[in-house]
């Protein structure tokens, strides 16, 4: 399952970057989009835990 999930994410990156290039994005803009997704994936568990903690503490 881990291999399948990583293969799917890798395919998404290739397809997304190709699609963004067709839309006229520059290489820098495409890398900014991909970095933003990575940073969001790192920050989201912290934010979700904080949100869940505040909502469930009531």
Greater pLDDT, 37 or 18: 18
pLDDT surpasses 80 at 11: yes
Task: State pTM to two decimals.
Answer: 0.65
Q: What is the 3-state secondary structure (H, E, C) of 1-58?
A: CHHHHHHHHHHHHHHHHHHHHHCCCCHHHHHHHHHHHHHHHHHHHHHHHHHHHHHHCC
Rounded-to-integer distance, Cα 35 and Cα 40, Å: 8
Q: What percent of the chain has pLDDT over 90?
A: 48
Residue 19 scores a pLDDT above 90: yes
pLDDT confidence of residue 7? 87
pLDDT at 16: 92
């Amino acid at each position: 399952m881990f291999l399948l999930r990583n293969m799917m994410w890798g395919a998404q990156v290739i397809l997304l970057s190709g699609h963004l290039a067709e839309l006229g994005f520059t290489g820098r803009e495409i890398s900014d989009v991909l970095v933003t997704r990575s940073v969001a994936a790192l920050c989201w568990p912290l934010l979700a835990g904080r949100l869940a903690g505040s909502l469930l503490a009531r």
